[in-house]
Amino acid sequence: MMYISKYIFSLLVLASASAFAQQKNTDTIAPKPKVERYGIRVGADLHRISRSFYDDDFKGIELVADYRLTKKIYAAAELGNTKITVDEAQLNFTANGNYIKLGFNYNTYQNWLDMENMIYVGVRYGFSTFKQTLNSYKIYQNSDILPNDNISGVYNYFNEVTIYPNREYSSLTAHWAEIVGGVKVELLNNIYMGFSVRLNIKLAETEPDGFANLYIPGFNRTYDGSFGVGFNYTLSYFIPFYKKQEASKEVKKK
């Protein structure tokens, strides 16, 4: 639930921000030849930075960058580090590692005049090297012994056994693909705020012997074995390299 409210909040902020950004250009009449700026945009994920402060079990940072290739296509990358301790009912472990994601964004938003906002879809290839430390686990025992008993749920005849192995599974790797959907809005001159959601599909992994990859940095928690979800909430700065004047529609007709 906390995650869902976070998503909604992010969307609301961005929706209002983009509405605000569009207001200033409503009364323009004369169409001028459109000048498109090309360059690199670099930034960081605010969600991971802030979570590192309020969540003792999480330390993480994600740097993001995109470079405009054509009018609508951008090369995009994310680089990050995550250390997270996950407490499940039956086990507690820490995942720690680095990741990189490389791919493209396709801007589908038709900007007015010199605006440079984006509503985009994209794909990524993700790769992570990480380790997992198994801090503790319980031996699952459901000694539901009696054939006609009234015990419902889990019944342990003996006291539950918790083991603290502090066992490290290192040199783990994972490869995955991501489908990305997101928005980027220019809030101030050259400063962009962005939000994206990701659906991750695991392609390959090195599995630890006697354990499983329950959390992969960058991929996040593994669901049903091969799926993951993620999002980021970025603040970026655009560094223009050059400008290109777009060919007007009249020229195209000739």
Partner 1 sequence: MKRLSACILALIAVAFYLSSCEKDDLCADGTLTTPSLVIEFYDSSNRTEPQSVTNLKYFAEGRIDTLMPGTVSKIRVPLKTDMLSTKWGFIYNEVLTSGVRPNLDYLDFKYIVNQEYVSRACGYRATFTLDPDTDANPNPLPSGGTLNQWIDDIEVMTTNIVDEFENAEEDENDVHIKIYF
38 vs 227, which CB is nearer to partner 1?
A: 227
Closest CB 137 distance from partner 1, rounded Å = 5
Q: Dihedral sign for Cα 127, 58, 162, 168, please.
A: positive
19 vs 139, which CB is nearer to partner 1?
A: 139
User: Encoding tokens for residue 63?
Assistant: 């740097």
104 vs 227, which CB is nearer to partner 1?
A: 227
Q: Scan residues 188-207 and list those touching partner 1 (CB under 8 A).
A: 197-199
Any idea what DSSP says for residue 71?
S
- Whole-angstrom Cα distance, residue 191 to residue 41? 9
User: Encoding tokens for residue 105?
Assistant: 């964004």
**Which residue do the tokens 């430390």 mark?**
133
Cα-trace Rg, the chain: 24
Q: Which string of x and - marks every residue 104-133 that binds partner 1 (by CB under 8 A)?
A: ----xxx--------x-x------------
Q: Dihedral sign for Cα 196, 201, 205, 209, please.
A: positive
**Hey, how many other C-beta atoms are within 10 angstroms of the C-beta on 97?**
22
Stretch of 47-55, 64-72, 226-234, 237-245 lying at the interface with partner 1 (CB under 8 A): 226-234
34 vs 72, which CB is nearer to partner 1?
A: 72
Stretch of 33-41, 52-60, 62-70, 208-216 lying at the interface with partner 1 (CB under 8 A): 208-216
Residue 220 gets the label, from left (phi > 0), alpha (psi -120 to 50) or beta, of left
Closest CB 180 distance from partner 1, rounded Å = 8
9 near partner 1, judged by CB under 8 A: no
**Hey, how many other C-beta atoms are within 10 angstroms of the C-beta on 36?**
15
- CB 160, CB 138: distance < 8 Å: yes
- Whole-angstrom Cα distance, residue 222 to residue 35? 44
Stretch of 23-31, 45-53, 95-103, 224-232 lying at the interface with partner 1 (CB under 8 A): 224-232
Q: Dihedral sign for Cα 85, 202, 193, 13, please.
A: negative
Closest CB 60 distance from partner 1, rounded Å = 17
13 near partner 1, judged by CB under 8 A: no
Stretch of 27-35, 36-44, 86-94, 184-192 lying at the interface with partner 1 (CB under 8 A): 86-94
143 near partner 1, judged by CB under 8 A: yes
- Whole-angstrom Cα distance, residue 111 to residue 117? 7
Binding-residue total with partner 1 (CB under 8 A): 45
Contact residues for partner 1, defined by CB under 8 A: 3-4, 7, 88-91, 108-110, 119, 121, 137-143, 145-149, 154, 157-158, 161, 163, 179, 181-182, 197-199, 210-212, 214, 223-224, 227-229, 231
